């Protein structure tokens, strides 16, 4: 049976999938390959991870989680999943600054696509990267460190175009406790009139909606116990009321596979993600798109999507709105600007979704919306490139590190190199 991605909407076209167990085996594999890409947790919804040649699955690579308490960093092998890393860091008394919705995704894959998490003051997951080890086209090892390596900011969100990431070094901090409160049926007008107050009310805030009606379906507020914010017993949150039992973002799905709610304090590792590591995340039979919009356009962009409800809602399972802080990583959708993520979890009807994306992107174009690299979008390099001030610098960097195009694929040719 042909190998597929997590959602099942993509069959990999690679000639073979290899599973190197050591970095040395990975080096030999890269050196001998005609074309090659890394394969992580398969959570991309487009063909960014595919190739006509060899896929190097990192799931069996030597598992490494090494904490450097003096420098407050942790080094992990590229295929390590965030849930595994979070549990080990918590055991040793440390933490990451943030997690994405799913702890099931691989560190290297999430970093390479600038996958984010949420919080007004929180950069995406790639902003925690202090160092990288890449297996480059000739099979050699390239190490890069923040503040030391030229073009480091161009290497972190690398889209797999520069080499295969064999290990990542991340910033860590002392472990902290988090509470999670869910409020339901917030009044849209109150939310939009007080948007900054809504998103700053907790360390991490997510709003869930299907864009129809006069209310926001759910607000998930994750707060550090040591910080002020929403407290137990609060009965109103911008027109919304507290959920009385665990909730799931998707209608009709049990909240039992979501992280602990109802304001019960617990480790960051068990609260910052939306879903528990031990359960199948979300639904699986879905598609996803996401667009990152500058913070100053947040309310106008949201109002635009509400006007498109008749087009969007029938295709949706749910949408999520999150905030992300600015960074300096060249191909990060938050390069140079604080932003909001407008996320779409679609029903698994790819022809219908793909027919809507050009219109959706046209409506969001006035707000300089940048698509998430690992999810479904329509625009190619001609549309995406002008949104990134360092886009041409990245293409030059990729040409220098991979002059023969060993790591190129159909996705990169379309979305980055414009072939």
Using the predicted structure, report yes or no on whether residue 139 has a pLDDT greater than 60.
Answer: yes
- Any idea where the domains of the chain sit in the sequence? 65-175
CA dihedral of residues 336, 341, 346, 351 (deg, nearest 10)? -30
- Residue 88, judged by CB atoms within 10 A of its CB (0-12, 13-18, 19+), counts as middle
pLDDT higher than 70, residue 419: no
Which residue did the predictor score with more confidence, 154 or 78? Answer: 154
Compute how many other C-beta atoms are within 10 angstroms of the C-beta atom of residue 61.
24
Residue 408 contacts residue 161 (beta carbons within 8 Å): yes
> Which tokens belong to 398?
């990729």
Q: Could you tell me how many helices (H) and strands (E) the chain has, helices first?
A: 12, 19
The pLDDT, as a whole number, for residue 227 is 80
pLDDT in tens, 337-346: 999 999 999 9
- Band (114; pLDDT cuts 50, 70, 90): very high
Sheet with 65-68, strands from edge to edge, namely 65-68, 73-77, 164-171, 129-135, 141-145
Confidence of residue 68 (pLDDT cuts 50, 70, 90): very high
Go through the chain and tell me how many residues it has: 419
**Residue 118 pLDDT:** 94
Whether the per-residue pLDDT at 282 is higher than 70: the answer is: no
Calculate the alpha carbon distances from 112 to 301, 320, 335, 359, 373 in Å: 26, 22, 14, 27, 9
Q: How far apart are the first and last CA of the chain?
A: 31
- Please give the full DSSP string across 297-313, using - where no structure is assigned: GHHHHHHHHHHTHHHHG
What is the structure's pLDDT at 1? Answer: 45
Query: pLDDT (tens digit, 9 = 90+) per residue, 169-183?
Result: 999 999 999 999 999
Residue 335, helix vs strand vs coil: strand
pLDDT bin (cut points 50, 70, 90) of residue 6 is confident
What is the distance between the alpha carbons of residues 391 and 399, in angstroms, rounded to a whole number?
13
For residue 82, the SS3 value is helix
**Rounded mean pLDDT of 142-162?**
98
* Percent of the chain with pLDDT strictly greater than 90: 86
Could you tell me what percent of the chain has a pLDDT over 70?
A: 97
Q: Does domain 65-175 have CATH number 3.30.465.10?
A: yes
pLDDT tier at 402, thresholds 50, 70, 90: very high
The mean pLDDT of 285-305, rounded to a whole number, is 97
Do 202 and 271 touch, CB atoms closer than 8 A?
Answer: no
Quickly state the pLDDT bin for 62 (edges 50, 70, 90): confident
Mean pLDDT of 207-231: 90
Mean pLDDT, range 180-205, rounded to an integer? 96
Q: Half-sphere exposure of 76 toward its Cβ, with a 13 Å CA cutoff?
A: 26
Q: What pLDDT sits at residue 281?
A: 60
Among the residue ranges 93-102, 109-118, 153-162, 271-280, the one predicted with the least confidence is 271-280
Q: What are phi and psi of 335, to 5 degrees?
A: -60, 120
Give me the pLDDT at residue 230, please. 63
105 CA to centre of own chain? 9
Q: Give the HSE-up count for residue 52: Cα atoms under 13 Å, Cβ half-sphere.
A: 8
- Is residue 74 within 8 Å of residue 57, measured between CB atoms? no
Given a cut of 50, is residue 390 above it in pLDDT? yes
Per-position DSSP letters for 148-160, written without gaps between them: TSTTHHHHSS-TT
CA–CA distance from 35 to each of 16, 59, 117, 144, 162 (Å)? 11, 20, 32, 23, 12
Evaluate whether 164 touches 211 at the Cβ level (below 8 Å): no
Specify the higher pLDDT residue, 62 or 347: 347
How confident is the model over 366-384, as a mean pLDDT? 97
Mean pLDDT is highest, among 1-10, 11-20, 354-363, for 354-363
d(CA 401, CA 163): 8
Q: What pLDDT sits at residue 233?
A: 60
pLDDT over 80 at 228, yes or no: no
**pLDDT tens sequence across 321-333:** 999 999 999 999 9
Query: Among 4, 6, 2, 53, which residue's Cα sits nearest to residue 375?
Result: 6
Strands 316-324 and 241-242: unpaired
Of 131, 135, 160, the C-alpha closest to 20 is 135
Residue 280's pLDDT is what?
A: 65
Phi, psi of 28 (to 5 degrees): -65, -40
Beta carbons of 109 and 41 less than 8 angstroms apart: yes
Give the helix/strand (H/E) hosting 216. strand 215-224
């Amino acid at each position: 049976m042909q190998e597929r991605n997590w959602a099942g909407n993509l069959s990999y076209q690679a000639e073979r999938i290899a599973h190197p167990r050591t970095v040395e085996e990975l080096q030999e594999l890269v050196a001998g390959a005609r074309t090659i890409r890394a394969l992580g947790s398969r959570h991309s919804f487009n063909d960014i991870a595919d190739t006509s040649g060899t896929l190097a699955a990192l799931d069996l690579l030597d598992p490494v989680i090494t904490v450097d308490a003096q420098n407050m960093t942790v080094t992990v092998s590229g295929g390590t999943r965030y849930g595994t890393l979070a549990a080990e860091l918590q055991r040793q008394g440390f933490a990451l600054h943030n997690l994405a919705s799913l702890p099931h995704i691989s560190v290297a894959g999430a970093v390479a696509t600038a996958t984010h998490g949420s919080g007004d003051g929180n950069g995406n997951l790639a902003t925690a990267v202090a160092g990288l080890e890449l297996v480059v086209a000739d099979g050699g090892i390239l190490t890069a460190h923040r503040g030391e390596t030229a073009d480091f900011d161009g290497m972190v969100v690398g889209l797999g175009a520069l080499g295969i990431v064999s290990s990542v070094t991340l910033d860590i901090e002392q472990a902290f406790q988090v509470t999670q409160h869910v409020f339901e049926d917030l009044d849209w007008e109150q939310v939009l009139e007080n948007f900054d107050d809504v998103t700053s009310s907790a360390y991490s805030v997510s709003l869930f909606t299907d864009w129809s009606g006069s209310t926001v379906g759910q607000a998930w507020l994750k707060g550090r116990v040591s910080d002020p914010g929403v407290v137990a017993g609060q009965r109103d949150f911008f027109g919304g009321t507290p959920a009385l039992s665990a909730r799931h973002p998707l209608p009709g799905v049990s909240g039992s596979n979501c992280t602990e709610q109802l304001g019960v304090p617990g480790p960051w590792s068990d609260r910052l993600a939306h879903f528990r590591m031990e359960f199948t995340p979300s639904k699986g039979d879905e598609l996803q798109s996401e667009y990152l919009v500058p913070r100053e356009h947040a309310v106008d962009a949201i109002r635009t999507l509400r006007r498109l409800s008749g087009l969007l809602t029938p295709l949706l399972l749910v949408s999520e709105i999150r905030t992300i802080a600015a960074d300096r990583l060249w191909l990060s959708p938050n390069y140079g600007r604080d932003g909001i993520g407008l996320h779409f979890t679609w029903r698994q009807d790819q022809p219908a979704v793909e027919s809507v994306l050009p219109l959706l992107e046209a409506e969001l174009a006035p707000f300089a919306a940048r698509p998430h690299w690992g999810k479904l979008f329509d625009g190619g390099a001609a549309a995406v490139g002008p949104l990134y001030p360092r886009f041409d610098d990245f293409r030059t960097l990729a040409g220098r590190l991979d002059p023969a195009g060993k790591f190129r694929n159909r996705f990169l040719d379309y979305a980055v190199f414009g072939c």
